[in-house]
Structure 1
Amino acid sequence: MGRLLKPSFAIWFIYVVAAWIVLQMCLALSHQLGDVDLQSDMLLLIKIVLLDLLTGHSFFETLFVLLIALTCFRMFAYLGRQIFVSQNWNRYVQNRIHPQLTKRWTRKYKMWHISIDVIRERQPVALASGLLYPRIVVSTGLLEILSAEEVHAVLLHERYHCLQRDPLKKWLVRMIIKGMPYVSALKGLGQYYEIWMELLADRYAITQTNSTFPIGTALLKLVQTPKFDTSYQGVGFSESAINYRLSQLINPDEPVHVPAVSVLSACSSCVVLIIISLVILFQCI
């Protein structure tokens, strides 16, 4: 179970492709708006910009601007929805917080320097929550059905997510995928990263406990219970990659083969990126 570079390669590839597309979009907008006279009247300026985009440039340039608008709209829509969901989740946690258990478990793992919030909830909940300051959220239902060793293994799993800032990474990756659906390879790489994110968190728990048993039995118990219904995109313990995780737990010394991107998806994404490059190249000449 040596150190793997595949997950980091996948997420950095997503970041690089997204940054490259955003750069191309900025260049395109700069070129499109370069011949527009700035006006103090905002409504007049918008009218001039729209008229210039519709009549002053080629069909492909106008089409690319529409693609930019679609990308921005989808990203901001995702951002707005996640802000709303996060606010609702934070209110839910605050309303159901168990002060005594929260204080007890945070004190027990104070050397981690990570808050452990315990909420009053009958269904088992365990997830890493928070973008800039990640914390662990568990429910009283989880503490009731798991043994002490299993709870420790689950907390180690979630600690790994907090240390790696996986909630923030997951949020950024999903925003990019939602905003750029025309690059289909990004979706496959995002799924690949999220699966390995869980596998590596399990490996961290296995390494810290020197056993696959606590994390394995905890996973089996939680997948057999009803899924906690929330639209909040934290990094939950038993939400994804179940088959791969069970395979790793059964045969921890054997490599886990996780598919990333299909040939068709890779080819179609390359075509899209080439077309974007050609549009930028020819409109700026």
Structure 2
Amino acid sequence: MWEKRSKVIVRQIVLSARTYKRLRHLRHEGHCTALNQAFCRSGGEDAILVVEHPAPVAFTMGMWKPRIILSTGLVKLLDHNELKAVIYHEMYHQKHRDPVKTFVLSLVAAVMWYLPILKWFRHHYNIAREVLADHYAVNRLGSGQDLGGALVKMLKYGRTATVQAAVSFSDTSINYRILRLLDPDMDIPLRLPFAPTMISVQVLLLLCSLFLIEFS
């Protein structure tokens, strides 16, 4: 099974590299130059890639060297400060290498499908990362107004389709995130679901019992 999963990892790395290569062919020179000069001081290859696409898209992708991908549709849709909020949000994911973390967590949840609590944990982990990225953007701008405006505009267009090793600005609990911007004291709901928890506990107890019998 692990051999099969290792092939999945290799395939995902290759897919991510190919996807980025195709996206580079859609590069918008003017927006890329302006945004990288404004937000990325290191130079070298673009940390922010703006591609020619009419739909508003924003996500961070890449297993080892995450890059922020924005579309010309997004640049056109948002005003200056809203765009800054989205970029700061994605910079948090980029800095903390969230694409590879979420991919690994998804892979573990798929491998250990017999522990349904992992699916719940993966979902809430993704929410927590989005909330932290939102918090980072709000701190950089000093207000949640522009981030909230960007979220509302993106909500009209639904979720964006991305490669697996990516995290999207509008792909995780966007309604909850808007509510949390309106009420920063709102807690993330972390009540464990009863059925998946009990099934997972029983499976773990069974595996422990088998392990003890095998080595007793």
- Give the TM-score taking structure 1 as reference length: 0.69
Give me the whole-angstrom Cα distance separating, in 2, the residues matched to 1:127 and 1:257.
Answer: 23
Contact (CA 8 Å) 1:123, 1:228: kept in 2 or not? Answer: no
Equivalences for residues 76-225 of structure 1 within 5 A: 76=6, 78-111=8-41, 115-225=47-157
Q: Which of 185, 203, 206 lines up with 1:272 in the alignment?
A: 203
Aligned-partner residue type, residue 175 of structure 1 = L
**Which residue in 2 is equivalent to 1:56?**
none
Deviations 1:120-145 (A, max 9, x none): 11111111111221121111111011
1:112, distance to aligned residue in structure 2 (A): 7.2
Long gaps (5+) in structure 2: none
Equivalences for residues 30-69 of structure 1 within 5 A: 69=1
Aligned-partner residue type, residue 119 of structure 1 = V
SS in 1 for 2:55: coil
Aligned-partner residue type, residue 95 of structure 1 = H
Give me the whole-angstrom Cα distance separating, in 1, the residues matched to 2:159 and 2:119.
Answer: 24
Contact (CA 8 Å) 1:125, 1:138: kept in 2 or not? Answer: yes
**Which residue in 2 is equivalent to 1:245?**
177
- Give the TM-score taking structure 2 as reference length: 0.90
Q: Percent identity?
A: 29
Are the structure 2 counterparts of residues 229 and 168 from structure 1 closer, same or farther at C-alpha, using a change threshold of 3 Å? closer
Give me the whole-angstrom Cα distance separating, in 1, the residues matched to 2:189 and 2:27.
Answer: 37
Counting matched residue pairs gives: 214
Q: Which of 217, 238, 263 lines up with 2:194 in the alignment?
A: 263
1:80, distance to aligned residue in structure 2 (A): 5.0
SS in 1 for 2:187: coil
Contact (CA 8 Å) 1:74, 1:179: kept in 2 or not? Answer: no
* Structure (1 or 2) with the larger CA radius of gyration: 1
Give me the whole-angstrom Cα distance separating, in 1, the residues matched to 2:111 and 2:70.
Answer: 31
When the two chains are superposed, the root-mean-square deviation of aligned CA atoms in Å is: 2.0
Give me the whole-angstrom Cα distance separating, in 2, the residues matched to 1:224 and 1:174.
Answer: 27
Are the structure 2 counterparts of residues 123 and 260 from structure 1 closer, same or farther at C-alpha, using a change threshold of 3 Å? farther
Give me the whole-angstrom Cα distance separating, in 1, the residues matched to 2:163 and 2:61.
Answer: 13
**Which residue in 2 is equivalent to 1:75?**
5
Give me the whole-angstrom Cα distance separating, in 1, the residues matched to 2:203 and 2:3.
Answer: 19
Aligned-partner residue type, residue 33 of structure 2 = K
Give me the whole-angstrom Cα distance separating, in 1, the residues matched to 2:174 and 2:110.
Answer: 24
Deviations 1:171-204 (A, max 9, x none): 1100101111001111111111001111111111
Give me the whole-angstrom Cα distance separating, in 2, the residues matched to 1:104 and 1:157.
Answer: 18
Long gaps (5+) in structure 1: 1-68
Larger displacement relative to structure 2 (218-227 or 119-128) = 218-227
Bigger fraction of residues in helix: 1
Are the structure 2 counterparts of residues 209 and 238 from structure 1 closer, same or farther at C-alpha, using a change threshold of 3 Å? same
SS in 2 for 1:96: coil
